[in-house]
Chain A
């Protein structure tokens, strides 16, 4: 396990560096600067602003100093929100996105796994068929279609829940965004777990357990459950990536001030430092989540470590 973490740490360095460099190059090659939209500045003021944000330095110097800065954990000042640093903006937005993501993941597991078990128990019966169709539906309908429809149904026509907004993260403000974000993952986990369970239940050791007189529920929960979790666990890595991108849309729909919103706004406003900061944080999160998923996988299946 320790070795895995070390490997991942070493692996993270080139990946993060690459992400940083690619975004930096993209941002600098792009036409249009961060201060273009403002009213015409005098040459003096423009020079002053450029000096403040080091835009007058050669690109390589900017790159170097940014790299050093980031290594010290400082993502620099925001171009668009002059009074705030990118660190502050992310520190404000990240908890909101994270809350959304964690709840959605929990919900996906808490609903997806039982549904998967149910479908596997009733394989090829009407219940299974119904769950299967619903799952395809859940995977196919994009969250930016489901979200607004949920708003229309549960907040406008039948005003049970607020239309949007964060409001300090009150529970009722969380319900719709979390459901919207979770739906495709519920569907995906259901399908994945059903398939894995069915495959597992055909293996010889299950036959042995049954022959020894284990009850069906003991066979399912004590024997088949853990190995069948493996595909679900390896899905958690990509799932977290999906949750991050999904929350960009969900934050847009429900007007939540999370990281995704900052990213879209920052990209539109050419807020160089903010965009770079968000992309770096997202890349870091992806690496962390993938590592966690891998660690969990190895804990469940120790053989996985030995093979490589």
Chain B
């Protein structure tokens, strides 16, 4: 039930966000001098902001960007996190201890503050935003993957493969990686909303996505500035953002319950 509800919103929303802007007759940057801060109606489905720009198209475009950031940063997090966790867990011993210590140090850093600094000082490029968020979010993935690898590596089939003299690369890619699939998918689903939240958080502070691009965080922050004259410019993008985050969280929860009813616990 939860999964179905969440998936249907995510699918509808993604299609809407991707196709919607092409189907609409409105332009995201066109300023309607005669229709500033207009409430939602038949011409402007989501109303206009105080500058007279159509909010419908802007909300959808903002969604495109938020989803894009989420996708790229999550892929980065998976790539780094899975390989780091896999190596650390499988190699074990001193390497493992060293790699985990390193992770501990990274955990202790006030990362979000550093990400903000990075963005402020080196200009708010999109690519930098991707790298900054992706470079921060992989820590959890690495820990979880390591924990699972520790459990999997003691399984009989892995020992059998080792006894048969298979190479480490082959064991990792053929035996361990496929069995990590469930955990990785669950945590990827839970990483996506975190990324979207971080991106919109940074954009809300005015430090993330810049004009002419927009994201849900930017839209919400513009909405906050015009809370009294145009409340819809706050709650419509806010609702899109919240519903999407909620759908991902529900999906992650649902998948976790579905996949491993009794979670394999490391340590």
Interface residues of chain A, those whose CB is within 8 Å of chain B, are: 11, 14-15, 18-19, 22-23, 26-27, 29-32, 136-137, 139-142, 144-145, 148-149, 151-152, 156, 241, 244-245, 248-249, 252-253, 263-264, 267-268, 270, 275, 278-279, 282-283, 286-287, 290
Q: Are B114 and A279 neighbours in the complex by a CB distance under 8 Å?
A: yes
Interface residues of chain B, those whose CB is within 8 Å of chain A, are: 105, 108-110, 112-114, 116-118, 120-122, 193, 197, 200-201, 204-205, 207, 217, 220-221, 223-224, 227-228, 231, 234-235, 238, 241-242, 245-246, 249-250, 253
Q: Within 8 Å CB of A137, what residues of B?
A: 242, 246
Q: Are B112 and A139 neighbours in the complex by a CB distance under 8 Å?
A: no
Q: Are B113 and A140 neighbours in the complex by a CB distance under 8 Å?
A: no
Q: Within 8 Å CB of B205, what residues of A?
A: 248-249, 252, 264
State in angstroms the CA–CA spacing of A73 and B55 once bound together: 50
Q: Which of B108, B207, B217, B242 contacts A287 (CB 8 A)?
A: B108
Q: Are A267 and B105 neighbours in the complex by a CB distance under 8 Å?
A: no
Q: Which of B113, B197, B201 contacts A279 (CB 8 A)?
A: B113
Q: Which of A142, A145, A267, A290 contacts B207 (CB 8 A)?
A: A267
Q: Which residue of B lies closest to A151 (CB)?
A: B227
Q: A27-B117, A141-B245 given as contacts; is B231 within 8 A of A152 (CB)?
A: yes
Q: Are B117 and A249 neighbours in the complex by a CB distance under 8 Å?
A: no
Q: Within 8 Å CB of B122, what residues of A?
A: 30-31
New A-B pairs, 15, CB < 8 Å, besides A19-B109, A139-B249, A148-B227 = A30-B120, A137-B246, A140-B242, A140-B249, A141-B238, A141-B245, A142-B241, A144-B204, A144-B220, A144-B224, A148-B220, A148-B234, A149-B238, A245-B112, A279-B113
Q: Which of B117, B197, B204, B245 contacts A26 (CB 8 A)?
A: B117
Among B105, B110, B114, the one with the most A-chain Cβ atoms within 10 Å of its Cβ is B110
Q: Are B114 and A23 neighbours in the complex by a CB distance under 8 Å?
A: yes
Q: A23-B114, A148-B224, A151-B227 given as contacts; is B245 within 8 A of A142 (CB)?
A: yes
Q: Within 8 Å CB of B249, what residues of A?
A: 136, 139-140
